[in-house]
Amino acid sequence: MSAKEHIQSLLKEAEIYRSQGLFDQSKEKYIEILEYIEKNKVALKDNKIIDAIKEKIREVDEKLTEIEESTDTPELAQEVQSLISNLFSFSKNKDTAAIEGAVAMAKFGQYEKALEEFEMLINEGALPLMAAMNMLRCHLSLATPEAAITQFKRWVSRDELGQGDLRYLRNFISDQLEKRGIKTELPQVGEIISGEKKTEEVDEGVLDLSSIGIELESGPRQGDMVEFDVTFQSGNTVSVIIPSKQKDMADLFKPGSQLSKVQCCSALAVFNSCGQVAGISKIESGPNRGNYSLDITITEE
Amino acid sequence: MAVFNVRERVIECKLVFYGPGRCGKTTNLEYIYKAGKKYTTSDMVSIDTKGDRTLFFDFLPIGLGKIKGCEVTVQLYTVPGQQKYSSTRKMVLKNVDGVVFVADSLEVRRKANVISLKDLQQNLAEQNMNIFKIPLIFQYNKRDLGAEGLPILPIEVMEKDLNGKLKVPYCEASALKGDGVGATLKKCLALTLSHLQKELQWSR
């Protein structure tokens, strides 16, 4: 292959990569051409070809910068937002599904719309703690911690949420602000009222969990850590799904039995804890029909 | 997990096209949308950036009609291939029933294929799913580029790289031309529906 043919072949390759959107690879090929010309002292009539290749590298660099700097989360049309909300809410329970839909919108960067949805859920009294926590997360993701603080103060002043919920939220936002190096005075929430459920005291320490790992203490997989997505959480009790085909595993979890090693994963941290099987039941209807719903109460180590 | 409405005898399942950036996932869906108009139940939804890169996901619902006494609808999704959109991929994979892994045949994308497959395995594991057990098909895309003189990976190399342990079916394809797209979808649907039939104990 002559030098000219080799250059043409590299050029063709670079052009195709570019047309495929493989800009890094395209740039590498253009550079390879320049290096080949220099290394082999290829005789050229003039510098036009070198200039043209340098121009192509510049154009590819522009494309790469454009991709790098493109907005990751543009505001989507309302119908697309609704579609996201519908497609990513899986629960048959209306309130849980509404939370899932709003969380999906937040995860896709549609924070303003998600905030509206969470606010509506709080007003309707639908899983208010989950909704409120996610509202605060939205404000923090939007890098507007002051909005999160204002929101929290409003809840405290208007007594829109229960005392237990407010205490939990205060701990949550306080941790988040501390991590961001923000010092602020948050309003105190009333002291624990005597007669309040004791579990609420425990609730304060349990974060919003996304998944848990449980070390199996018996059965053929004894010692294995199995991971489960948390499908629902109320205070320190989480629900996870065990597929019907893993009936043998489901049978290992007897109500009341202790779990000595539970790895808890939240957006904030991963930590080891203990647990107790609060209940297990076969799901009789809905998309998870036939699977098992396992409830675990997370206890302190 | 698929939605099975026993009373109305309707099954809705979800297939996800996974793979590295620029491997042709969206092109697959676009071809299915154009070629299979009579099966599509609504427009294809696609959200991309300036550079035609999928930002969130593509979505295309199709209806397969009655199978074994049940009306079957399938939701087809693609994930964004770029590494930075990891959380979106996790989100889209939720409740998946079957996966088409679109691998790029270009030699320069060999490493990207392997990284993306590992990412799939990890993201499935995070929702307690096993890549060895989920209905999965490989599509070795862009085979046509070999004829244009571009260095592409031999099938044996791709099989060894990606499918050595999984041993799942594969299809060769050129999604831009539509070659192999239908065959890939058919194989994945057959595998997924047969899997669901066992899972949901669905019969006439």
Q: How many CB atoms lie within 10 A of CB B149?
A: 11
Contact predicate A261/A272, CB 8 Å: yes
pLDDT for the residue numbered A195:
43
DSSP category for residue B43: P
- The percent of residues above 90 in pLDDT, for chain A, comes to 32
**CATH numeric code, A207-299:** 2.40.10.220
DSSP category for residue B147: G
Q: Tell me whether residue B175 is exposed, middle or buried, using C-beta atoms within 10 angstroms of its C-beta: 0 to 12, 13 to 18, 19 or more.
A: buried
State which of A57-71, A170-184, B10-24, B41-55 shows the largest mean pLDDT: B10-24
Cα end-to-end distance, chain B, whole Å: 20
pLDDT for the residue numbered B59:
94
Q: What is the CA radius of gyration of chain A?
A: 28
Contact predicate B183/B171, CB 8 Å: yes
Element housing A296 (H / E): strand A292-299
Contact predicate A257/A235, CB 8 Å: no
Closest CA to B88 of B148, B21, B160: B21
Token readout for A189 is 């929430």
Instruction: Say whether B139 sits in a helix, a strand or coil.
Output: strand
Average pLDDT rounded to a whole number, residues B134-140: 98
A269: confidence class by pLDDT, cuts 50, 70, 90: low
**Domains, chain B, ordered by start:** 9-200 (3.40.50.300)
Helices (H), chain B: 25-35, 86-93, 110-126, 155-163, 181-200
Closest CA to B170 of B159, B182, B154: B159
Q: What is the mean pLDDT of chain B?
A: 91
CATH class of the region A78-202: mainly alpha
Average pLDDT rounded to a whole number, residues A2-12: 90
Range(s) within chain A of domains with CATH label 1.20.58:
3-69
B78: confidence class by pLDDT, cuts 50, 70, 90: very high
Rounded distance, CA A14 to CA A50, Å? 14
Asked if B43 has any chain A CB less than 8 Å from its own CB, the reply is no
Lowest mean pLDDT among A63-77, A257-271, B123-137: A257-271
Contact yes or no for A21 and B50 at CB 8 A: no
CA dihedral B26, A107, B1, A94 (to 10 degrees): -130
Taking only the tens place, the pLDDT of each residue in A97-131 is 899 999 999 888 899 999 999 999 999 988 888 89
Residue with tokens 């019907």: A244
Whole-angstrom CA distances from A82 to A76, B3, B62, B79 are: 10, 20, 19, 19
For residues A196 and A182, which has the higher predicted lDDT (pLDDT)? A182
pLDDT for the residue numbered A286:
56
Average pLDDT rounded to a whole number, residues A17-28: 95
- Bridge partners of B45, per DSSP, are B59
pLDDT for the residue numbered A264:
82
Average pLDDT rounded to a whole number, residues A72-89: 87
Contact yes or no for B22 and A20 at CB 8 A: yes
pLDDT for the residue numbered A290:
78
Contact yes or no for B56 and A244 at CB 8 A: no
- The percent of residues above 70 in pLDDT, for chain A, comes to 90
Q: What is the CA radius of gyration of chain B?
A: 16
List the beta strands (DSSP E) in A117-181. none
Contact predicate B142/B152, CB 8 Å: yes
Contact predicate A231/A240, CB 8 Å: yes
Rounded distance, CA B94 to CA A238, Å? 18
Using an 8 Å CB-CB cutoff, list chain A residues near B21.
21
pLDDT for the residue numbered A219:
82
Rounded distance, CA A300 to CA A165, Å? 20
Using an 8 Å CB-CB cutoff, list chain B residues near A16.
145, 148, 150
- The percent of residues above 90 in pLDDT, for chain B, comes to 67
Using an 8 Å CB-CB cutoff, list chain B residues near A25.
106, 108-109
A203: confidence class by pLDDT, cuts 50, 70, 90: very low
SS3 string, B163-182, reads HCCCCCCEEECECCCCECHH
The pair phi, psi for residue B45, each rounded to 5°, is -105, 125
- Minimum-distance CB partner of A87 among B59, B84, B142: B59
For residues A128 and B169, which has the higher predicted lDDT (pLDDT)? B169
Q: Residue B164 pLDDT more than 60?
A: yes
CATH class of the region A3-69: mainly alpha
Average pLDDT rounded to a whole number, residues A253-258: 84
For residues B185 and A175, which has the higher predicted lDDT (pLDDT)? B185
Instruction: Say whether B99 sits in a helix, a strand or coil.
Output: strand
Q: Residue A204 pLDDT more than 80?
A: no
Residue with tokens 């939990």: A168
User: Which ipTM score applies to this complex?
Assistant: 0.84
Contact yes or no for B94 and A88 at CB 8 A: yes
Contact yes or no for A67 and B87 at CB 8 A: no
Helices (H), A196-273: 199-203, 247-250
Q: What is the mean pLDDT of chain A?
A: 84
A71: confidence class by pLDDT, cuts 50, 70, 90: low
Average pLDDT rounded to a whole number, residues A65-93: 85
Rounded distance, CA A77 to CA B79, Å? 20
Average pLDDT rounded to a whole number, residues B187-193: 95
A200: confidence class by pLDDT, cuts 50, 70, 90: very low
Range(s) within chain A of domains with CATH label 1.25.40:
78-202
Q: Residue B4 pLDDT more than 90?
A: no
Q: Going by C-beta distance under 8 Å and a sequence separation of 6 or more, which residues neighbour residue B131?
A: B120, B121, B124, B125, B166
A24: confidence class by pLDDT, cuts 50, 70, 90: very high
Closest CA to A241 of A299, A295, A298, A297: A295
For residues A255 and B139, which has the higher predicted lDDT (pLDDT)? B139
Rounded distance, CA B143 to CA B104, Å? 9
Q: Residue A287 pLDDT more than 80?
A: no
pLDDT for the residue numbered B144:
97
Closest CA–CA distance from residue B87 to any residue of chain A (Å) = 8
Contact yes or no for B91 and A88 at CB 8 A: yes
